[in-house]
């Protein structure tokens, strides 16, 4: 199918039929996408609001650490409870220019610093498929809203899994792009080098459409194939001690990837101490937290300092994250936290 504005208007699923109540219900079995279903990823013609652009009136959930002008950005932490940015983040500006409409800001793990969704401003978001289970984190609210069919898609952020984890737990698609693909201005970051905005939707075409909007690049035509084989590594430590149901689902997914032309390589990584890998994955962002947070707050006159925000957190943070670093992004009024 050709990529045309009219095709994109029906690319994002019918919002009227998607407004389901959050209750326990079986997960639908994923169907092989047809030409029509690819067009209905985020919209149906009845949902068109007259806005121009590829999003054309689509309602989007936005994680509450991404600025939307005039709406509070709390990052789930008490010190930012009254923080209302005057300017939108660059990613939301791109969504709005192409017709995206804010459905609401969504809950997150405090400062996006965890995977359970716990925060100081209210209850954690739950998995709408199983309300006695958490939705994961840190982009818990967006994942829950998309999975509950309250919105067709939304924005999260990801440092070490904060888009991918809740997407996996809630049965939707979560995409973390290469760092630098999307702009980060106007986002409450906790890392300078690992942090990125991510996309969440109920289908790959929906993610693909939002990716093109946020990257500022036209997406590939629907059904376009990558001209060279794709390669993925399956590290053995990540497959150890899996729940049998989880392993079965993951193996089926691997077979689907192989059938689609992916080349999967299983590596033992016998010379790698996995605990050291996990430690480094958290140590680097934690080292950068005060500088990254200070850089954001410096753009907002009257906002608290990074030290004040971190000192007021109710969810425990690594000690490394509480120590200011010498960086042009760190506010001069930051003092060591006692």
Residues annotated as part of the active site = 63, 138, 162
Tens-place pLDDT, residues 277-300? 888 888 889 999 999 999 999 999
* pLDDT exceeds 80 at position 165: yes
Tens-place pLDDT, residues 4-60? 444 343 344 333 333 322 333 344 444 444 434 433 455 543 344 445 689 989 999
Could you give phi then psi for residue 305, rounded to 5 degrees?
Answer: -80, 165
Tens-place pLDDT, residues 264-283? 999 988 888 888 888 888 88
- What is the pLDDT confidence band of residue 230, given thresholds at 50, 70 and 90? confident
Q: What is the DSSP letter of 211?
A: H
Is the pTM higher than 0.75? The answer reads yes
* Residue 53: per-residue pLDDT: 85
* pLDDT exceeds 60 at position 334: no
Tens-place pLDDT, residues 108-140? 999 999 999 999 999 999 999 999 999 999 999
| Contact yes or no for 54/11 (Cβ under 8 A) | yes
Mean pLDDT of 178-183: 96
The pLDDT mean for the chain works out to: 83
* Residue 14: per-residue pLDDT: 32
Give the DSSP H or E segment for 265.
strand 262-267
Q: Compare 143 and 227 and report the one with higher pLDDT.
A: 143
Q: Compare 228 and 276 and report the one with higher pLDDT.
A: 276
Cis-peptide into 138, omega within 30 deg: yes
pLDDT above 90 covers a percentage of the chain that reads 65
Mean pLDDT of 177-201: 97
Q: Residue 316's CB: how many other CB atoms inside 10 A?
A: 10
* Residue 42: per-residue pLDDT: 59
Nearest to 293 by CA among 39, 59, 110, 22: 110
| Contact yes or no for 117/111 (Cβ under 8 A) | no
* Residue 328: per-residue pLDDT: 43
* Residue 221: per-residue pLDDT: 67
Q: What 3-state DSSP class applies to 260?
A: coil
pLDDT above 70 covers a percentage of the chain that reads 77
Q: How far apart are CA 138 and CA 215, in angstroms?
A: 22
* pLDDT exceeds 80 at position 222: no
How many Cα atoms within 13 Å fall on the side-chain side of residue 4? 4
């Amino acid at each position: 199918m050709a990529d045309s504005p009219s095709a994109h208007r029906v690319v994002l699923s019918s919002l009227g039929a998607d407004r389901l109540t959050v209750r326990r219900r079986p997960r639908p079995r994923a169907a092989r996408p047809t030409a029509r279903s690819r067009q209905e990823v985020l919209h149906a013609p009845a949902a068109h609001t007259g806005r121009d652009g590829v999003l054309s009136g689509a309602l989007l959930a936005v994680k509450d650490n991404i600025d939307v002008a005039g709406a509070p950005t709390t990052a789930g932490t008490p010190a930012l409870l009254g923080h209302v940015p005057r300017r939108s983040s660059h990613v939301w500006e791109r969504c709005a220019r192409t017709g995206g409409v804010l459905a609401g800001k969504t809950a997150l793990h405090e400062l996006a610093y965890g995977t359970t969704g716990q925060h100081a401003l209210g209850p954690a978001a739950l998995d709408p498929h199983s309300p006695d289970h958490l939705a994961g984190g840190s982009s818990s609210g967006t994942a829950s809203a998309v999975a509950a069919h309250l919105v067709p898609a939304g924005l999260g952020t990801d440092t070490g899994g904060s888009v991918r984890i809740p997407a996996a737990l809630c049965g939707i698609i979560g995409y973390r792009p290469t760092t630098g693909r999307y702009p980060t201005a106007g986002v409450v970051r906790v890392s300078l080098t690992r942090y990125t905005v991510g996309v969440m939707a109920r289908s790959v075409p929906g993610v693909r459409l939002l990716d093109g909007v946020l990257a500022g690049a036209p997406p590939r035509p629907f059904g376009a194939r990558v001209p060279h084989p794709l390669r993925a590594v399956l590290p053995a430590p990540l497959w150890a001690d899996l729940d049998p149901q989880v392993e079965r689902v993951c193996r089926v997914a691997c077979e689907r990837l192989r059938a689609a032309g992916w080349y999967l390589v299983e590596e033992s990584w016998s010379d790698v101490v996995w605990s050291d890998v996990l430690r480094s994955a958290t140590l680097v962002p934690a080292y950068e937290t005060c500088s990254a947070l200070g850089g954001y707050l410096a753009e907002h006159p009257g906002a608290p300092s990074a030290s004040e925000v971190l000192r007021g957190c109710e969810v425990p943070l690594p000690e490394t994250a509480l120590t200011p670093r010498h960086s042009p992004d760190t506010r001069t009024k930051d003092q060591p936290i006692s």
